[in-house]
């Protein structure tokens, strides 16, 4: 008894006393197997790493890129525990300035212009049901590093961001008024035709309906200028190059330009006629380049008799 007390005193003196909250959460009786916590004292973290060979050996939780700070490899010899995968769209396009989405200056868009989404793994069943095991912030093409075996994941009817992007979503149809023509320093009016598209598929024998809804139009005018809109614009057949519109563009040089348009679609799905559920992330669908021919005007003085 006396030796144990002396050891505890020495440990606190040498390692530094953990906070009262850390003592309550990380007492030996309450240690969770092979899981690190950001509130864990270094002393208990070292003990846990020794008992769990599969645990990530890191000096700082910040060294784990794009992974939740509680991530640790679950014991590989436990095949009975099941997990479920969820997707979270923390900051959907159009809502970046709400719910604190604009508080992270490092949160940028993916290379295709879409917003990143979060892939979450939670315990399914048992006394830890619903508890978070890991989460990854992903962009299209990123491969998640799951800390569990594929056979441990519980199957559920859902459409993943990767599956959504594989549907044959048609691009927007770009247009200009006047059509494919402008004058230097004039105001060419640009607009697009885009519609909500619906697809039908089958997942694990269940009929699933998917729809793609256009939400953003990203224009590249070919002269180095770009603009993004949350609406496609409207046709203006009576538009003249002398009048500026909310979606017009002015070229300061003459020549031939390819106008490129990228449309971002958000997705929804429903299984067996049930309620619609959101699909995180977006599908970025490019349109065929639209040619623009930009001319210049030249004033000349002409005699009344035409000579």
What is the average pLDDT across 251-279? 93
In contact, 237 and 230? CB cutoff 8 Å: no
Residue 292 has, within 13 A of its CA and on its CB side, a CA count of 28
- Looking at domain 162-295, which of 2.60.40.10, 2.40.50.100, 2.120.10.80, 3.30.565.10 is its CATH number? 2.60.40.10
pLDDT at 13 over 50: no
Q: Which two tokens stand for residue 207?
A: 């009929």
Confidence of residue 307 (pLDDT cuts 50, 70, 90): low
Structure confidence at residue 49 (pLDDT): 61
207-247: pLDDT as tens digits = 999 999 999 999 999 999 999 999 999 999 988 899 999 99
Q: Tokens 């057949």, residue? A: 237
In contact, 115 and 282? CB cutoff 8 Å: yes
Range of 8-22, 73-87, 138-152, 221-235 with top mean pLDDT:
221-235
Helix and strand counts by DSSP (H, E) for the chain? 4, 13
118-128: pLDDT as tens digits = 888 888 888 88
Structural domain spans, the chain: 1-63, 79-156, 162-295
Structure confidence at residue 304 (pLDDT): 65
Percent of the chain with pLDDT over 90: 38
Q: What share of the chain is helix, strand, coil (3-state, %, to 5)?
A: 15, 30, 50
Instruction: Look at 49 and 81; give whichever has higher pLDDT.
Output: 81
Averaged confidence pLDDT in the chain: 75
pLDDT at 36 over 70: no
Peptide bond just before 178 cis, omega within 30 deg? yes
Which pairing describes strands 290-295 and 181-183: parallel, antiparallel, or unpaired?
parallel
Structure confidence at residue 46 (pLDDT): 63
pLDDT at 15 over 50: no
Range of 71-80, 81-90, 129-138, 158-167 with top mean pLDDT:
158-167
């Amino acid at each position: 008894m006396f030796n144990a007390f002396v050891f505890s005193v020495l440990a606190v003196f040498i390692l530094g006393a953990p906070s009262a909250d850390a003592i309550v959460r990380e007492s030996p009786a309450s240690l969770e197997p092979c899981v690190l916590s950001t509130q864990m004292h270094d002393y208990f973290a070292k003990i846990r790493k020794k008992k769990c060979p599969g645990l990530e050996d890191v000096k700082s939780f910040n060294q784990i890129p794009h992974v939740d700070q509680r991530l640790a490899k679950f014991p590989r010899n436990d095949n009975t525990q099941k997990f479920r995968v969820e997707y979270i769209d923390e900051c959907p396009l159009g809502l970046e300035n709400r719910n604190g989405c604009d508080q992270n200056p490092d949160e940028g868009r993916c290379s295709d212009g879409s917003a990143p989404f979060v892939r979450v793994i939670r315990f399914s069943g048992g006394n830890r049901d619903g508890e978070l095991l890991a989460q990854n912030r992903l962009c299209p093409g990123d491969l998640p590093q799951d800390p569990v075996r594929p056979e441990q994941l519980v199957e559920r009817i859902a459409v993943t961001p990767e599956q959504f992007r594989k549907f044959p979503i048609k691009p927007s149809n770009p247009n200009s008024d006047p059509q494919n023509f402008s004058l230097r320093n004039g105001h060419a009016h640009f607009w697009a035709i885009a519609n909500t598209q619906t697809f039908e598929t089958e997942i694990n024998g269940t009929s699933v309906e998917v729809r793609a809804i256009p939400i953003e139009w990203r224009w590249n005018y070919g002269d180095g200028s770009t603009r993004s809109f949350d609406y496609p614009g409207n046709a203006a057949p009576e538009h003249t190059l002398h009048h500026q519109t909310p979606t017009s563009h002015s070229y300061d040089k003459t020549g031939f330009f390819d106008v490129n348009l990228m449309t971002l679609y958000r997705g929804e799905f429903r299984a067996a006629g049930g309620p619609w559920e959101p699909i995180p992330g977006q599908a970025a669908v490019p349109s065929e380049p639209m040619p623009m021919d930009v001319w210049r005007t030249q004033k000349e003085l002409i005699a009344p008799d035409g000579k």
